[in-house]
Chains A and B, each alone.
Chain A
Amino acid sequence: DAGVIQSPRHEVTEMGQEVTLRCKPISGHNSLFWYRQTMMRGLELLIYFNNNVPIDDSGMPEDRFSAKMPNASFSTLKIQPSEPRDSAVYFCASRTAGRGETQYFGPGTRLLVL
């Protein structure tokens, strides 16, 4: 299996620009998670989906952040407009449903907003 795929791997943009991060979960996994990681705050859960349905988006920091999962094999996280404080590494993770199931992480997208 190819594992969780994320793109782009690196993104440098200017403040105010729209940023779209993409994720392809592991085939057969029906839960998908978006995380943000910074030195100060560690790994923060932003939003997660079960069977393509958003379940909890309470971790999304502001209305500038939005996420979609139009089908079982694709999800996007969008930031519009981006700000320097959004600079972080964004991880996507997936797993099969059920108690005790492991979450598998993608390689991450390193975002720098200038």
Chain B
Amino acid sequence: QKEVEQNSGPLSVPEGAIASLNCTYSDRVSQSFFWYRQYSGKSPELIMSIYSNGDKEDGRFTAQLNKASQYVSLLIRDSQPSDSATYLCAVGYSGNTPLVFGKGTRLSVIA
């Protein structure tokens, strides 16, 4: 059973701080990792993907992957109130199989 675990939150951070979102996964054969952002009443949208160990930066977002620890994280620097949303971690496997999603972490950035 492939599982992806996230703390449900809410995670509250002050505006301008760094928000750190974490995700663990159960299956070592996982090959691709994604972070989706979902605003209330909207659909999930992709914000980051990462495939190899280490860090990947895109603007204020940094994804970190540690396959040995089966751990992936998302850092949001200079958090803004507009970053308040639910963040879904998703894991992909070999072949043309669906991504496995965590239940998401709700982030609240306080102005």
Interface pick from B18-26, B45-53, B59-67, B68-76: B45-53
Say whether B42 contacts A107, CB under 8 Å.
yes
Taking the complex as formed, is A61 at the interface, i.e. its CB lies under 8 A from any CB of chain B?
Answer: no
Contact A100–B103 (Cβ < 8 Å): no
**Are B44 and A43 closer than 8 Å at their CB atoms?**
yes
Residues of B within 8 A of A104 (CB): 46
Main secondary structure of the interface of B (DSSP, over half): loop
Closest chain-A Cβ to B45's Cβ sits at a distance in Å of: 7
Q: Which residue of B lies closest to A97 (CB)?
A: B96
Q: How many residues of chain B have a CB within 8 Å of chain A?
A: 23
A97 to B94, CA, bound (A): 11
Contact A33/B98 with A43-B88, A100-B32, A100-B51 known, Cβ cut-off 8 Å = yes
Interface 1/0 per residue, B71-111 and A, CB below 8 Å: 00000000000000000101011111011011110000000
A106 to B43, CA, bound (A): 7
A99 B95 Cβ-Cβ under 8 A: yes
The proximity string for A residues 57-98 relative to B, scoring 1 for CB distances below 8 Å and 0 otherwise, is 000000000000000000000000000000000010000011
What's the Cα separation between A54 and B45 when bound, in Å?
Answer: 25
How far does the Cβ of B50 sit from chain A's closest Cβ, in whole Å?
Answer: 10
Q: What A residues does B96 contact at CB under 8 A?
A: 31, 50, 97-99
